Amino acid sequence: MNYRSNEWTMAIHWSLDRLRDLLPADRFAHMESVSCNPDVALDAGGNYPIIHGETGHLIAGVPYAKGLRVPRSKMRDLCSKGIDVQYGKNLIDVAFTESQKGVVAVFDDGSMVSGTILIGADGPRSKVREFAMGSAEKAAVSRFPIFHTNMTVTYNDAEKARYVRQRFPTSYLALSDRSYHAFQSSRYPDFISVISD
């Protein structure tokens, strides 16, 4: 189940070897099944295209040996299999054990969870980061001045869709001389995210 209203894709390349070590073997074996474009093999490699926004001509190709692009929701589902993920918990306190080798997370519903490490993967207004930094002010992040819009594109033209998929099998970045930049991620359905600054 996707608990977030928005959807993003992410490229996984340099972290693949680490994921292979972290994930159970049966989970890692299904990485390609959550790919945005299952026609592109994990070890296919290639050049990540950076194109000119006005002309469409290739500016540069950033090489990568292996990798894939995944929707975050599908990757989250794959990684959370067999894990008791509880949503809607509100962290109110963090305490360390007397030995300093353990940590206890305290939630507003009265529940407590103890462990050896607390990982703050709770977004830009992270409560975990607030506790680590000592205050919300110190934990605040600076804003990045961009305007971001997601759009879904359906070509209704098999030849055009095939051309885009062959030329840009996973994604591309377009840079404009007029300070407009676009990022396109190919997936089922085709997905385009436009960024301008």
- pLDDT at 68 exceeding the cut of 60: yes
Task: Give per-residue pLDDT as tens, 71-112.
Answer: 888 898 898 888 888 888 899 999 888 787 899 999 999 999
- pLDDT at 192 exceeding the cut of 50: no
Model pLDDT, residue 187: 65
> Is 9:73 a contact under the CB 8 Å cutoff?
no
- Which of these, 68, 90, 76, lies nearest to 7 by C-alpha position? 76
Model pLDDT, residue 177: 85
State the Cα–Cα distance between residues 127 and 122, nearest whole angstrom. 7
Query: Which residue bears the tokens 């759009």?
Result: 151
> Is 114:99 a contact under the CB 8 Å cutoff?
no
Burial of 184 by CB count in 10 Å (0-12 exposed, 13-18 middle, 19+ buried)?
Answer: buried
Residue 94 is encoded by which pair of tokens? 């963090």
Q: What is the band of 3 on the pLDDT scale with cuts at 50, 70, 90?
A: low
> Is 169:61 a contact under the CB 8 Å cutoff?
no
Task: Give per-residue pLDDT as tens, 10-67.
Answer: 888 888 899 999 899 999 999 888 888 877 888 888 888 899 988 989 999 888 888 8
Name the average pLDDT for the chain. Answer: 83
- CA torsion through residues 85, 86, 88, 91, sign: negative
Taking the whole predicted model, whether its pTM rises above 0.75 is answered as no
